[in-house]
Amino acid sequence: MLDISTPVDKQVEWLARQQAAYLITYPSNLEALLLWCRERQIRLPTLSRAQTLSEVLHPRVRALCREVWGFGVDDMYSCQETGYIALQCPDHEHYHVQSENLMVEILDAEGQPCAPGKMGRVVLSDLHNFAMPLIRYDIGDFAEFGGPCGCGRGLPVLRNIMGRVRGMLTLADGSRIRPDFGGPHFREVADIRQYQVIQKSLERLEVKLVAPHGLSAGEERALRQMILAQLGHPFEIEFSFHDDIPRSAGGKFEDFRSEI
């Protein structure tokens, strides 16, 4: 075990000393490790698999892991109240609900079940908590069911997990999307070590940056265009600069947070 707040270079040194075969960490930390290793062409030859939990795993992190370390990522969906909710299928990138332990419903705004492929609220009923059962417990996440899996396990499939309500960006028409700002590409614009986007209103975003040298007018313009191209909506964007953007008390890092 190593504290998640340990600097990335020290984490890489520690993994090498441990001759680690497996790594379990948060997706945001895995991405930081991969970027560090890619920049310095570090392989970690004993490492054969990475597992992630606690945060939404973006597809870009899966692709980056295959590029840098040559293997995939196994993701786990869980919460403190019920434990494991769904685990990634060994043969695919979608997730199997752990139906032996809990029932999972995906409901729309009217409380009706969502069809496969339609995003809705995750509602849980656990089957193993005899002290205080949780019945139809809304955990504040969004996800969507998928169709049957060809692996033969027969468990329900979650095709996509969008994460917390506060991690969803709200558009002017009231619809919600899971934003992906393409954070690694920010580094192609300027020396940006960390970023966090906060939705302040339906029209305004604050972008917090850890950029030791600041941004020139051209870099700021390029970064603004990059963000707006990802979102497809003309948000007003305000940049603010910080020495560090801390993780939460639980060690999680949110690259996006909605205050709506």
Q: How does DSSP assign 116-143, residue by residue?
A: TT--EEEEEEESS-SSS---SEEEEEEE
pLDDT of residue 30: 95
pLDDT of residue 166: 72
Which residues, other chains included, contact 80 with Cβ-Cβ below 8 Å and sequence gap of 6+?
A: none
pLDDT of residue 248: 76
CA 27 to chain centre: 6
Three-state SS string across 63-112, please? HHHHHHHCCCEEEEEEECCCEEEEEECCCCCCEEECCCCEEEEEECCCCC
The dihedral over CA atoms of 76, 54, 160, 86, expressed in degrees to the nearest 10, equals 40
pLDDT of residue 22: 94
Q: What spatial distance separates the first Cα and last Cα of the chain, rounded to whole Å?
A: 36
Q: Which two tokens stand for residue 39?
A: 């920049």
Q: Which residue has the tokens 């801390």?
A: 246
| Ordered mean pLDDT values, 10 residues apiece, the chain (260 residues) | 90 94 94 92 93 90 93 93 94 95 95 94 93 93 94 94 82 80 76 88 92 90 88 88 83 82
Please give the domain boundaries of the chain with CATH numbers for all domains.
Answer: 8-74 (no CATH), 94-161 (2.30.38.10), 176-258 (3.30.300.30)
